[in-house]
Structure 1
Amino acid sequence: MAIPDLDIIPLAIGEIEECKIPWRSKEYHLTRKDGIMALTRIKGARANEAHKALLLGLEDDEPQIRVASLKALPEVATQKSDELFDWLSVLLDDDDIAVRTSASEALSVSAPVFPSGVDIIIHNELRSANKNRSKAAFKGLDLLCEAWPEVACDHIDELFLEPDVELRTRGAKLLGKILTKGGSAGWDLISWALNDNEPSVRRAAAKTLPRLAKADTRIATILAERALSDSDSQVRVSAVKAIRLLDKDSGRAKELILKGASSRDLNVRKACIDMLPILYGEEVLRGIAIDLLKTETDSKLIKSLNQLATDDSLEGSEATKNRFLAPAPAVPKLDREVAEAAGKRIGLEPVLPDKKVEENLEQQPAESNASKPKVSSLYRSVSQDEMMGYDDDEY
């Protein structure tokens, strides 16, 4: 269901009261409000006409017309934006609450598309005492972080200068959005936020450090080292998470982890001690664990450090020590054959007698057996013919 292009402008400016549109066996009556919403379809040569029609709608006395005009504003502004954002600024303070709400929504939608056109408006709305207006402005700033990170950095920088803690905290929570595209300006903002007097601001800034460790290891190492000494435990934990993602072969990363292993914060110590086996070999690790045991007070960490400091190959039980012994060398094949020829089997049961020999022994009378010395058939001497596999029946 669509208004004919030729009827959009007349309907939007009120030249015609309504437009009848048949749709699925029904007839719909579209009014001026619908015509204003349809202004978003007009492009190119007729954009000026749509722009004039929208301006008339923005200054109309009817709240519904102003609301419809505000909804169409972001799209119409892509063709021509003259005076539109001036009206947007005015309607943010309109007497009608529906108009004010629509103006805030139009601001958040327009922010990433027209950063310069709404720059001052965003600046004012971010600091609005009305929570709904401030929320809409921060939504626009959030979108601005992705589309125009440089402009967003300027707004966040100004927020950090505000005495209001909530504004600084909300600004710090946006730092993750500008981390990859903001460049050095974004790193400076994180650094400044980590120096803030309010813990909530520092916590929000510290949460960006793990992501920064993936983007720029050098900057992340510097900032994580500072955050590791912060008075707030949550900031220190975020610093440890960032250190986990640093290059494990980096000497500076190892120093930070060793420093954290003796921190006053239990969570930091635990996280750093858990990382020690990844960074160091057994001998160095035992020395570090022994040193840490001298000052550690937590029972669980003491147990973990004792395990790291113990060399099972020397101090464990007999069964534990045996696990570290090298396996016995294999018996050479020649020695094994000689032993088997003598009726012995290395590591296995004795060689059983041949069936043919057993049958011959059974056929001999018992008297002859009595005259012979008692020698176990299991360990009898083997002739050379038997060793070579010769059989008397074959000749």
Structure 2
Amino acid sequence: MSGARDDVVVTGLGAITPLGGNAATTWEALLDGASGIRGDVLGTSRRADLAPTAAGTMAVDPVTLLAPAQARRLDRSQQAALVAAAEAWADAGSPEVDPERLVSVIGTGIGGVQTLLKEHEALASAGARRVSPRTVPMLMPNAAAAAVSIAYNARGGVYTPVSACSSGAEALALGARLIRAGEADVVIAGGTEAAITPITVAGFGQARALSRFDGDPADASRPFAADRSGFVLGEGAGVVVLESATHAQARDARVRAVLAGAGIASDAHHMTAPAPDGAGQIAAMRAALRNAGVEPSLISHINAHATGTSVGDAGEAAAIAEVFGRVTVTAPKAAMGHLFGAAGAVEAILAALSVQHGIVPPTRNISSGIDPEIDLDVPAVRRDAPQTAVLSNSFGFGGQNVALVFTAA
């Protein structure tokens, strides 16, 4: 699968999500069929013109996991990134690495939007002197990646993919590319987002992209279901430690999975709608397979982007069928909501754990039936079976498509 090149291996995992405060609790909750989606997270009393909003808020407040002085200097998205990075670094065994060969790559779709909104409100209500002097570094999209680089003395470069919902997956693809190009030995890679705010709710609501499910909030996110009506907002972070196999072997590191291949392609079609023929998604998946040296028949299952929108899910299903035929897929956003810039990284972690443990996670909220026009195998309960290779899809506004392939260590 890897030929003469040095493999890129996953040695550390870290996450903070609506399902759990770390990667292990997130994984276990997903396998148990739990939901991290809660009702009326903004509080209708705050905005009478906003309908009660279900969303996947982080199961643990990242503020509680950081030193108070540190937390005050960070936007919520940056807090989440540091929490996930700390777990991933410890999980990797806190590797000793030349700082010039250590890189930070943390993607985000928006950056410090909560800080921006808070400080704009302070400006409007109390004047310029009440605006925090930390406003700019707290709202910068690259601040999470920079904070991680400072925390771990990563002096080989700081990168911030800002690629909408594919940002986190693109961070892993870039990290693997840097290692294979010989520019890094270790990359701390992932994605983060904390953008559950009135403006994002209003904007997506006006676009009619949010779920209109009128029942238990835990059932609101319904990827692939016949009665799906839109996505559910989520927040969190996912971070992995990537290493060259040579570096990992030299320190006798535990390897959870191999990031065997990555594919990136663009639709060049529309700012929000995917290309009707799925060409960009198909190209990304085929590029990931080609990069990994894996035939489509060897993919055990696919972690689908699957947000729960009518057009998006149907389009992805058609693209998957074009490449793989009828294949098993799973849709974690049914349990967590859509974590935007963090989604691809968190779901890459789930894909790596699927390979490591030989499990296909269940997909919630499909008891009413899969859309009859979608010809995919979507298990409602976990399946325990060896996973030779797992592909994870992430697609974003702007026509940005990323696919990652993970294989067994």
Superposition TM-score, scaled by structure 1 size: 0.22
- In terms of fraction of residues, the more strand-rich structure is 2
Higher relative contact order (CA 8 A, sep 6+): 2
- Give the number of the structure whose alpha-carbon radius of gyration is greater: 1
- In terms of fraction of residues, the more helix-rich structure is 1
